[in-house]
A and B are shown apart, each in its own frame.
Chain A
Amino acid sequence: MLELAWLIPIFPLLAFALITLTPVRHNKAASGWLAIGLMTLATLLALGVAAEVAQGILVAENGSRTTRAALSSVPPEDVFSFPVPNIVRTLRWAPVGGMTMSGEQAPFTMGYLIDPMVAAMLVMVTITSTCIHMFSLGYMAHDERQARFFSFMSLFTAAMLTMVMASNLLLFFMAWEIMGLASYLLIGFWYDRNYPDLRQITPRQAAIKAFITTRIGDVLFMVGLAYLWTQAGSLDFGRAPGQIFELGLLQRLAATPTALGMSAATAIALLIFAGTIGKSAQFPLHVWLPDAMEGPTPVSALIHAATMVAAGVFLVARTYPIFEASGALPFVAFIGSLTALGAALIACAQFDIKRILAYSTISQLGFMVAALGIGGWIAALFHLLMHAFFKALLFLGAGSVIHGMEAAVGTDVTTSQDIRNMGDLRRFMPTTYWTYLVGALALAGIPPLAGFWSKDEILADALSNGHIIVWIVLSLASFLTAFYMTRQVRLVFFGQFRGDSPRRDTRPSEPKAVEHAYGTDSVAGAHEHGGHTPHESPWTMTVPLIILAIFAALAGFVNTPFAHGLSNFLEAEAGSFNIIAVLIATLVALAGVGAGWIMYRDSFVTAQDDDPLERLQPAMFGALNRRLGFDELYARTIGVATTVLSIAWTALDLWVIGRIVSGVGSVAAFLGRLNFIVDDTVFNDGADSLADGVEHGGDEVRRIETGRIQDYVGFAFGGVVVLGVVYLYIIQR
Chain B
Amino acid sequence: MPNIVEAVPLSWVLILAGGLFCIGLFGALSRRSTIAILLSIELMLNAVNINLIAFWRYLEPQLVAGQIFALFVIVVAAAEAAVGLAMIIAIYRTRQTIVADEVDTLRG
Closest residue on chain B to residue A714 by CB atoms: B29
Q: CA separation between A702 and B106, bound complex, in Å?
A: 12
* B89 is an interface residue with CB less than 8 A from chain A: no
Q: CA separation between A713 and B104, bound complex, in Å?
A: 14
- A713 and B29 in contact, given A702-B108, A705-B108 (Cβ under 8 angstroms): yes
**B25 and A709 contact, CB distance less than 8 A:** no
Interface centre among B28, B29, B37, B108 (most CB of A within 10 A): B108
Closest residue on chain A to residue B104 by CB atoms: A707
Closest residue on chain A to residue B103 by CB atoms: A709
Chain A binding surface SS class: helix
* A64 is an interface residue with CB less than 8 A from chain B: no
**B28 and A705 contact, CB distance less than 8 A:** no
Within 8 A of B (CB), among A692-732: 702, 705-710, 712-714, 717
Q: CA separation between A710 and B28, bound complex, in Å?
A: 7
> Chain A residues with Cβ under 8 A from B103's Cβ?
709
Closest residue on chain B to residue A703 by CB atoms: B108
Within 8 A of A (CB), among B80-106: 100-101, 103-106
Within 8 A of A (CB), among B17-38: 25, 28-30, 37
Closest residue on chain B to residue A706 by CB atoms: B107
> Chain B residues with Cβ under 8 A from A707's Cβ?
104-108
**B104 and A706 contact, CB distance less than 8 A:** yes
**A710 and B108 contact, CB distance less than 8 A:** no
Q: CA separation between A713 and B28, bound complex, in Å?
A: 8
> Chain B residues with Cβ under 8 A from A705's Cβ?
106-108
Closest residue on chain B to residue A717 by CB atoms: B25
**A708 and B37 contact, CB distance less than 8 A:** no
Within 8 A of B (CB), among A37-73: none
Q: CA separation between A527 and B106, bound complex, in Å?
A: 87
Within 8 A of A (CB), among B27-65: 28-30, 37
**A708 and B101 contact, CB distance less than 8 A:** yes
Give min CB distance, B103 to chain A, whole Å.
Answer: 7
> Chain B residues with Cβ under 8 A from A713's Cβ?
28-29
**B37 and A710 contact, CB distance less than 8 A:** yes
Interface centre among A705, A713, A714, A717 (most CB of B within 10 A): A713
Q: CA separation between A709 and B105, bound complex, in Å?
A: 10
> Chain B residues with Cβ under 8 A from A717's Cβ?
25, 29
> Chain B residues with Cβ under 8 A from A706's Cβ?
104, 107
> Chain B residues with Cβ under 8 A from A712's Cβ?
106
> Chain B residues with Cβ under 8 A from A708's Cβ?
100-101, 104, 106-107
Interface centre among A705, A707, A717 (most CB of B within 10 A): A707
**B108 and A709 contact, CB distance less than 8 A:** no
> Chain A residues with Cβ under 8 A from B105's Cβ?
707
> Chain A residues with Cβ under 8 A from B101's Cβ?
708, 710
**A710 and B107 contact, CB distance less than 8 A:** no
Closest residue on chain A to residue B101 by CB atoms: A708
Q: CA separation between A323 and B57, bound complex, in Å?
A: 97
**A709 and B29 contact, CB distance less than 8 A:** no
> Chain A residues with Cβ under 8 A from B108's Cβ?
702, 705, 707
Closest residue on chain A to residue B106 by CB atoms: A707
Within 8 A of B (CB), among A514-544: none
> Chain B residues with Cβ under 8 A from A710's Cβ?
28-30, 37, 100-101
Closest residue on chain A to residue B105 by CB atoms: A707
Within 8 A of B (CB), among A387-409: none
Within 8 A of B (CB), among A157-206: none
Q: CA separation between A707 and B100, bound complex, in Å?
A: 10
Give min CB distance, B24 to chain A, whole Å.
Answer: 11
> Chain B residues with Cβ under 8 A from A702's Cβ?
108
Give min CB distance, B77 to chain A, whole Å.
Answer: 17
> Chain A residues with Cβ under 8 A from B29's Cβ?
710, 713-714, 717
Give min CB distance, B63 to chain A, whole Å.
Answer: 26
Give min CB distance, A28 to chain B, whole Å.
Answer: 70
> Chain A residues with Cβ under 8 A from B100's Cβ?
708-710
Q: CA separation between A713 and B106, bound complex, in Å?
A: 13
Q: CA separation between A714 and B29, bound complex, in Å?
A: 7
Give min CB distance, B83 to chain A, whole Å.
Answer: 14
Q: CA separation between A708 and B29, bound complex, in Å?
A: 10
Give min CB distance, A327 to chain B, whole Å.
Answer: 89
Q: CA separation between A530 and B83, bound complex, in Å?
A: 98
Q: CA separation between A190 and B108, bound complex, in Å?
A: 72
Closest residue on chain B to residue A709 by CB atoms: B100
> Chain A residues with Cβ under 8 A from B104's Cβ?
706-708
Q: CA separation between A712 and B108, bound complex, in Å?
A: 12
Give min CB distance, A459 to chain B, whole Å.
Answer: 100
Interface centre among A702, A709, A714, A717 (most CB of B within 10 A): A709
Q: CA separation between A707 and B105, bound complex, in Å?
A: 6
Closest residue on chain A to residue B108 by CB atoms: A705
Give min CB distance, B13 to chain A, whole Å.
Answer: 21
> Chain A residues with Cβ under 8 A from B25's Cβ?
717
Q: CA separation between A717 and B21, bound complex, in Å?
A: 12
Give min CB distance, A515 to chain B, whole Å.
Answer: 75
Give min CB distance, B48 to chain A, whole Å.
Answer: 13
Give min CB distance, B5 to chain A, whole Å.
Answer: 28
Q: CA separation between A709 and B40, bound complex, in Å?
A: 14
Q: CA separation between A277 and B106, bound complex, in Å?
A: 84
Q: CA separation between A714 and B100, bound complex, in Å?
A: 14
Give min CB distance, A681 to chain B, whole Å.
Answer: 36
Give min CB distance, B106 to chain A, whole Å.
Answer: 4
Bits for A138-167, please: 1 = Cβ < 8 Å to B, else 0: 000000000000000000000000000000
Give min CB distance, B101 to chain A, whole Å.
Answer: 6
> Chain B residues with Cβ under 8 A from A709's Cβ?
37, 100, 103, 106
Give min CB distance, A373 to chain B, whole Å.
Answer: 91
Closest residue on chain A to residue B28 by CB atoms: A713
> Chain A residues with Cβ under 8 A from B28's Cβ?
710, 713
Q: CA separation between A7 and B37, bound complex, in Å?
A: 79
> Chain A residues with Cβ under 8 A from B106's Cβ?
705, 707-709, 712
Closest residue on chain A to residue B41 by CB atoms: A713
Give min CB distance, A691 to chain B, whole Å.
Answer: 20
Q: CA separation between A710 and B31, bound complex, in Å?
A: 9
Give min CB distance, B76 to chain A, whole Å.
Answer: 17
Within 8 A of B (CB), among A577-599: none
Q: CA separation between A708 and B99, bound complex, in Å?
A: 10
Closest residue on chain A to residue B25 by CB atoms: A717
Give min CB distance, B59 to chain A, whole Å.
Answer: 21
Q: CA separation between A714 and B27, bound complex, in Å?
A: 11
Q: CA separation between A706 and B108, bound complex, in Å?
A: 7
Closest residue on chain B to residue A702 by CB atoms: B108
Closest residue on chain B to residue A704 by CB atoms: B108
Q: CA separation between A710 and B34, bound complex, in Å?
A: 10
Q: CA separation between A707 and B107, bound complex, in Å?
A: 4
Give min CB distance, A712 to chain B, whole Å.
Answer: 8
Q: CA separation between A295 and B23, bound complex, in Å?
A: 101
Give min CB distance, B50 to chain A, whole Å.
Answer: 19
The 3 closest A-B pairs by CB, nearest first: A707-B107, A705-B108, A707-B104
**Given A708-B100, A709-B100, A710-B101, 10 new contacts (CB under 8 A):** A702-B108, A705-B108, A707-B106, A708-B101, A708-B104, A709-B37, A709-B106, A710-B29, A710-B37, A713-B28
Q: Can you list 14 pairs linking A and B with CB atoms under 8 Å apart?
A: A707-B104, A707-B106, A707-B108, A708-B107, A709-B37, A709-B100, A709-B103, A709-B106, A710-B29, A710-B30, A710-B37, A710-B100, A712-B106, A717-B25
